[in-house]
Amino acid sequence: MSVNILFAAKESDWSEYEAALATALGKAGIDFNLSNSQSADFSAAETDYMVWSPNSVVQDFTPYTRCKAVLSLWAGVERVINNPTLTQPLCRMVDRGLEEGMVDWVTGHTLRHHLGMDAQILGQNGVWAPQTPPLARHRQVTVLGLGPLGSACARMLRQVGFDVAGWSRRLKDIEGITCFSGADGLRDALKRSEILVLLLPNTAQTENIINAETLALMPDASFIINPGRGPLIDDDALLKALDTGKIAHATLDVFRVEPLPGTHPYWTHPNVTVTPHMAAETRIDSSAEVIAENVRRGEQGEAFLYLADRKTGY
């Protein structure tokens, strides 16, 4: 019997995902019936798996009584994990395409700040005044969050040559990276973060982890790069730290409200770079393979990959 898979993600993504999912499901040997939520030829109660993203029309999971798993196309699941109607297992997306994109973006923005590129790009004023940056190995970079994305970025930054530390809820062991955990570990990690990269999930525990108190621990004139989630930062505290020069520059890809409202002070602050939540996107072909593998696992009674945990919130 065919497995009914409902694509209930962003409507405009359907045309591209349809072919990629069909290919990946076929390769995984699954006999499937794949439909878009707008034109499904099976009912909610007949849905076996749901491919989902926060911009889905489906926000009430109650009718999906037979659904074995909700498979998120997004890495961050904070917009669904506490949905009281979601009783089905939820899997977050861990996609090598998304991971590679994140590594590219984080490495690029870290190098921008490390090398002081803005001074050259924006300062074409006829004045010949070389300023040699320190070597990467003399620059302390800290990554908060050592999940798949944070650890991939930490590894690449280490490969580039930076002196890299990372902090996570549970202590990790990553070759070449100084790993911290716990409250004391967070303080130690921040004290050495000349460039701080935020890749933590958005949970009750991580909300406002960057606040007046934690910002004060960072070295003077340090940099913040946030491709994680907006609520990790207390925005008022960051704006104050930017005004005093405690933080030299913040490169922010994610915000509490997205799109970032046109009147938000981040847009006009001279020491803030706003990018439109584009640091890393789920890539269609590689994520389709992850979805297909999870459907295969579900059908064969194997444990799902990347199962979200309601207790930790990610």
The strand ranges marked E within the chain are 3-8, 32-36, 49-52, 69-72, 90-91, 140-144, 163-168, 178-181, 195-198, 222-226, 247-252, 272-274
Whose Cβ is closer to ligand GLV: residue 94's or residue 212's?
94
Whole-number minimum distance, CB 226 to ligand GLV, in Å? 12
Q: What is the DSSP letter of 177?
A: S
Site string for ligand GLV, 282-311 (x = CB under 6 A): x-----------------------------
Of 76, 145, 150, 231, the one binding ligand GLV by CB under 6 A:
76
Which residues touch 258 (CB under 8 Å, ≥6 apart)?
Answer: 230, 277
Stretches 28-36, 71-79, 170-178, 291-299: which one binds ligand GLV (CB under 6 A)?
71-79
Binding mask 83-102 for ligand GLV (x = CB under 6 A): ----------x---------
Distance (Å, whole) CA 29 – CA 299: 11
Q: Which range in 41-49, 74-82, 230-238, 290-298 contacts ligand GLV by CB under 6 A?
A: 74-82
Q: Distance between CA 304 and CA 308 in Å, rounded?
A: 10
Distance CA 66, CA 49 (A): 8
Q: Which stretch binds ligand GLV (CB under 6 A): 29-37, 63-71, 73-81, 284-292?
A: 73-81
Q: Which helix (H) or strand (E) is 23 found in, with range?
A: helix 14-27
Active site residue 264: no
d(CA 115, CA 121): 11
Q: Which of 256, 277, 296, 297 is catalytic?
A: 277
Q: Which amino acid is at 66?
A: R
Is residue 277 part of the annotated active site? The answer reads yes
Nearest distance, CB of residue 148 and ligand GLV, angstroms: 11
Q: How far is the CB of 71 from ligand GLV (least distance, A)?
A: 13
Closest residue to ligand GLV, judged by C-beta, is 76
Contact call for residue 74 and ligand GLV (CB under 6 A):
yes
Q: How many residues bind ligand GLV (CB under 6 A)?
A: 5
Determine the residue type at 298: G
User: d(Cα 90, Cα 229) in Å, to the nearest integer?
Assistant: 19
Annotated catalytic residue within 139, 192, 229, 249: 229
Rounded to whole angstroms, how far apart are CA atoms 96 and 293? 14
Instruction: Tell me how far apart the alpha carbons of residues 71 and 306 are, in angstroms, rounded to a whole number.
Output: 9
Q: Which of 20, 25, 75, 239 binds ligand GLV (CB under 6 A)?
A: 75
What residues between 265 and 284 interact with ligand GLV by CB under 6 A?
282
What SS3 string covers 41-76?
CCCHHHCCEEEECCCCCCCCCCCCCCCCEEEECCCC
Residues 171-230 contacting ligand GLV, CB under 6 A: none
Rank residues 43 and 59 by Cβ distance to ligand GLV and give the closer one: 59
Binding of residue 255 to ligand GLV (CB under 6 A): no
We find the least distance from the C-beta atom of residue 106 to ligand GLV, in angstroms, to be 13
Query: Which listed range, 70-78, 79-87, 117-125, 303-311, lies at the site for ligand GLV (CB under 6 A)?
Result: 70-78
In this structure, what is the dihedral angle of CA atoms 222, 226, 231, 232, given to the nearest 10 degrees? Answer: -50
- Catalytic sites, residue numbers: 229, 277
**Which residues contact ligand GLV (rule: CB under 6 A)?**
74-76, 93, 282
